[in-house]
Amino acid sequence: MCSREPLSTQNPAIAGGPYAGAVIDLRSDTVSRPTEAMRAAMAGAEVGDDVYAEDPSVLALEERVAGMFEREAALFCPTGSMTNVLAIRLLVPAGAELICEARAHVVRAELGAHAAVSGVTTRTWQHPRGLLDLDQIDELLAPDLGPFLVRTAAVAVENTHNFGGGSVQTAEGLKGLRALAERCGVGVHLDGARIWNAHVATGTTLAELAEVADTVSVCLSKGLGAPVGSLVVGTAEQVAESRVWRKRLGGGWRQAGVLAAAGLHALDHHVERLADDHAHARVLADACGVDPAGVDTNIVVVPCADAATAVAVARAEGVLVAAVGARTLRLVTHLDVGPADVRTAATVLARVLREAA
């Protein structure tokens, strides 16, 4: 029988676990908390009813994000999983298929939502870092092979790739995918949950990173540190349709401006500082025996003989990490992890991994 450590555990300092001191939480960048300045922006937000499209803070956020990606419109939603569902259903009708990498968030970590909600099937290619493999994609594409085979309607690309270790898709790969999609007449969806990290790591503009895609999903509640929120970005017609489906799926919200204000604050203050998270990740990688040169952004994937045991031992010493496989750990740096935290975590994890080996 195979046992595994849950991907999410309680904070032991809160839950009365074995460690009673301060906790360094490296499980995900989703665990960060709003800064005091962000809380002040939320408290002072101008609000209205967003179901009526009358919340001024939400409208300002949507307009700003659409402009950053040089698209016509954007739609503010509760989660990245929802924005992926909304965006992909624009490109893939029920009964057709989406092609993506085997560890992509849309196929691995959204609880089968695309099949359950939209009737979308999937096929996958494999790459050790989650990157585009144009030869594999070309072989998988089946836009029109007659009435007996599922029709390929779109390809999804994740940038950065979460389970690939925060890897950044190459410019060559993105251009090649766009050309391939146009040749075959299929759509492209960009899961840009951490597109901000790719932007800071490469210096490439957000609009250029998104040129490959017909629809885009971006997240504010990861590296940018907002407590809630993602956006679908696309044409005005696409966003209008997504607004209907957002409501249909229970995602219509009212005075959401208090959350939009956090996103606006994050865009003002938390984008360029992502470079600090990237530097911290390379420090952790070096301590864990992973080549820092292979760490593109803020995620480090660490091979480990027994991930569940390593998670438990590190937790007992006040460092929370995630097991994303029986022999794989994931470390994610973020707004709440400073240089001193990184040094402490590096010391603890180096010892834990050395003893496990």
Q: pLDDT tens-digit profile of 6-36? A: 333 334 443 434 444 589 999 999 999 999 9
Give the pLDDT confidence score for residue 4 in this predicted structure.
32
% residues pLDDT > 70 (the chain)? 94
Residues of the chain with pLDDT under 50: 1-20
Give the pLDDT confidence score for residue 158 in this predicted structure.
98
Give the pLDDT confidence score for residue 22 in this predicted structure.
83
Direct distance between the N- and C-terminal alpha carbons of the chain, in angstroms, rounded to an integer? 22
Spatial distance between the Cα atoms of 321 and 305, rounded to a whole number of angstroms: 15
Are the CB atoms for 18 and 12 separated by under 8 Å?
yes
Give the pLDDT confidence score for residue 357 in this predicted structure.
79
Q: What is the pLDDT of residues 178-193, one digit of tens each?
A: 999 999 999 999 999 9
H helices, E strands: number in the chain: 15, 12
Domains and CATH numbers, the chain: 12-31+273-356 (3.90.1150.10), 36-269 (3.40.640.10)
Give the pLDDT confidence score for residue 21 in this predicted structure.
57
Spatial distance between the Cα atoms of 283 and 231, rounded to a whole number of angstroms: 32
Are the CB atoms for 262 and 38 separated by under 8 Å?
yes
Q: What is the pTM of this model?
A: 0.93
